[in-house]
Structure 1
């Protein structure tokens, strides 16, 4: 039986990191930010253990303990507190708190305290059980997200997948177009048949017909054996044509004919082969503009576009940014044999503020690099690097001026990354040298 933990924490970023980490350890975790919400949750839900910050916006963790005592709620509670409040934590233990742990939280120590607090329960989750659950979850290769944009996208995926409609997936590079194509196939009636992906951007024009339709031995120089093309390989299943806008006009004609007739002829063969495939295409180009320019056939466009799915950019899915960051961190931990918990507050804020031009692919690479570099339990700005301090090229406003609360930290980080070279630091921060000098004076930064 999965044990339930309630986190009472007003630091939303830290609360999310803790919730994600404990979820990976096999617990069912809920999180609230006030004592009032904690009371409502305890009254309406089963809670096996509570992790509560000492100081919260409406009351203190001690007040929650007093209320629980009055209500006869015998739920083990662990207080989380800064070193300055250790005395208050000791008082909380006198009032019935099971234990306390100082911030920044040591993950091994916290898991030990949780296990000790639950040790009298027969359904306690052991470390070995938790590790097993992480392994099982790690087999999944993607996270769909919880933002409105993600929910709408996968609602449409669920609607179109059982049909036989041709689907065109529009989206920027790195947004996960191939995953969506796979998901459509998995949810379709063809899921027990092949899924064949073809990268149209990497096929030379001269070999495209062979890649799609195959060839017979000796049909052209280099054709030393018979070759089965993608259409025959995908027969009965799904063929995914990634970056279809890169196909030459001549190849588009051949593709259109194959889709219309549901028959293909291998290069050099006189025999036609009937094929039954479901087509999913993807592009990061505007195919309607390509039609106007005469580089993409309009009749082919309508053939591949019976249903359109638009992949949202990561910057449009703010609610998903930290979810994906932690997901990629989990993957990187496994690949690199590391045991990081998450991202500290400043790193989390940088992840949220960044414009992610490379979308999920870029985030995965940045997180993996940061995981390799990290020396503590949390990834910091130091490991994320200057890339996340940069602003979009279209913006004339510096990142420092856009976020006054972290302005000094961004300036110091830029100087550190550039070896205190003020010209390069100013360029990195997208401000001129005079403005940088004024900021250095304002914040008493002496170099």
Structure 2
């Protein structure tokens, strides 16, 4: 019997979910706080954590990062409200198996739980020929595995594909820029597949998920005895990628010390394992990606400018989905086919009402959000076409949505609610004023400002640039 840890501070909601899962054959323990959940691991072993994002003493994201560092085989599903969609997408990049939104649909929950546990069994049964005694939270994998690259038919997509075709045959290092969820790894794999290295390995690493103390070991390997827990020699990702391509996603998250090692690897085309004294030659093409402004980070001393220029021999920009609505038909067809295969369904398409909702929404989570919504809709659809009712209400109800909406245009009378655009502009103005006030109160101490606002420094820099506060 599979053992699930449910972390939810709403006791009524927790009891309902627990009862439902137990009726479907699972053993369920509950907790209401992050620390309580962590303590339960000292006496029990869990196959899956289902955690609400907002908890009394922290967040589900914190629990996710802790579990991936200490119990990497335990799957994590995050529960969010739809307003937390960007956070949920970030959680998936950090290793969460999936996210589901409140109110939870029982069929969706059960399917996601079963899928996560099936995935875990498959990972455990897969052969592992490389000794890796140290905890690893970032086994190389690709979201694009088994999926076809969708070029798109919009002018923006055609321009991007033309640039990919130009740079792919070369050995230039490529920097892929773009928002979260825009398919930067798809683009990078496309470059690899069109390059002379296509028969070599493609190793994808999320630098944001690498524990700082293990990042050097994960990338370059270590020798036995290099540090506590290094019981055997370890082959790093660069050595695994020899003869092929290494994709370094969220490159801005690497520590300054690891940046130095990476710069040396690029310049000398050699690596040295942690604790070793032997130079190992490597033949690897590097593709890096980020949604940060690395030049701002370089100016602030958080990213080496010489490394930035080494990585940025050629730049590509991933296009946000809201700017390529002409490609929606191509992407929905691809994701519909994937979902049908994954869920053993035979949904043929979408009603005209559903399609109008898709066209009217601004997709803040980009392609990743579109894929998840289509997968959820296919799961909930019993007929041939996806109906409006199979979609999350938040993407078409103006009172709850986060983007542009379908529906009746609000009038401008005194007693009417502001339009969605007015809500957005008010939010932006309030956020700008808050950041400006805290900066002034801290005398522009950015570290202190970030702590007070409870955001990381990179997010602060990005918002300061956006609002012209630097």
> In which range does the TM-score fall when normalised by the shorter chain?
0.5 to 0.7
1:438 maps to what in 2? none
Q: Deviations over 1:49-78 (max 9, x none)?
A: xxxxxxxxxxxxxxxxxxxxxxxxxxxxxx
8 Å contact kept, 1:167–1:306: yes
8 Å contact kept, 1:355–1:392: no
Q: 365, 376, 381: which is aligned to 1:374?
A: 381
1:215 maps to what in 2? 222
1:356 maps to what in 2? 363
8 Å contact kept, 1:398–1:431: no
Distance 1:394 1:289, change over 3 A: farther
Q: Paired residues, what number?
A: 274
Structure 1 residues 220-229 or 249-258, which shifts more? 249-258
Distance 1:351 1:223, change over 3 A: same
In the TM superposition, what are the counterparts of 1:68-79 in structure 2 within 5 Å? none
2:326 maps to what in 1? 319
User: CA RMSD for the aligned pairs?
Assistant: 2.7
Distance 1:431 1:381, change over 3 A: farther
2:303 is equivalent to residue 296 of structure 1: yes
1:103 maps to what in 2? none
2:190 maps to what in 1? 183
8 Å contact kept, 2:249–2:289: yes
Q: 166, 171, 184: which is aligned to 1:164?
A: 171
Distance 1:322 1:195, change over 3 A: same
In the TM superposition, what are the counterparts of 1:71-150 in structure 2 within 5 Å? 140-150=147-157
Q: Deviations over 1:144-185 (max 9, x none)?
A: 211111111111001000001000000111111111111111
2:203 counterpart SS class: strand
2:438 maps to what in 1? none
Kindly state the Cα deviation for residue 291 of structure 1 after the two structures are TM-superposed.
Answer: 1.6
In the TM superposition, what are the counterparts of 1:310-349 in structure 2 within 5 Å? 310-349=317-356
1:205 counterpart SS class: coil
Q: TM-score, normalised by structure 1?
A: 0.57
Q: 192, 204, 209: which is aligned to 1:202?
A: 209
Kindly state the Cα deviation for residue 391 of structure 1 after the two structures are TM-superposed.
Answer: 5.7
Distance 1:301 1:311, change over 3 A: same
Task: Indicate the structure (1 or 2) with the bigger Cα radius of gyration.
Answer: 1
8 Å contact kept, 2:178–2:320: yes
8 Å contact kept, 1:175–1:361: yes
Unaligned runs of at least 5 residues, structure 1? 1-137, 405-425, 433-447
Q: Deviations over 1:192-220 (max 9, x none)?
A: 22111111001111111111111111111
Unaligned runs of at least 5 residues, structure 2? 1-144, 412-416, 424-470
Distance 1:331 1:403, change over 3 A: farther
1:77 maps to what in 2? none
1:389 maps to what in 2? 396
8 Å contact kept, 1:390–1:428: no
CA distance in 2, matches of 1:150, 1:236: 29
CA distance in 1, matches of 2:295, 2:150: 31
2:303 counterpart SS class: coil
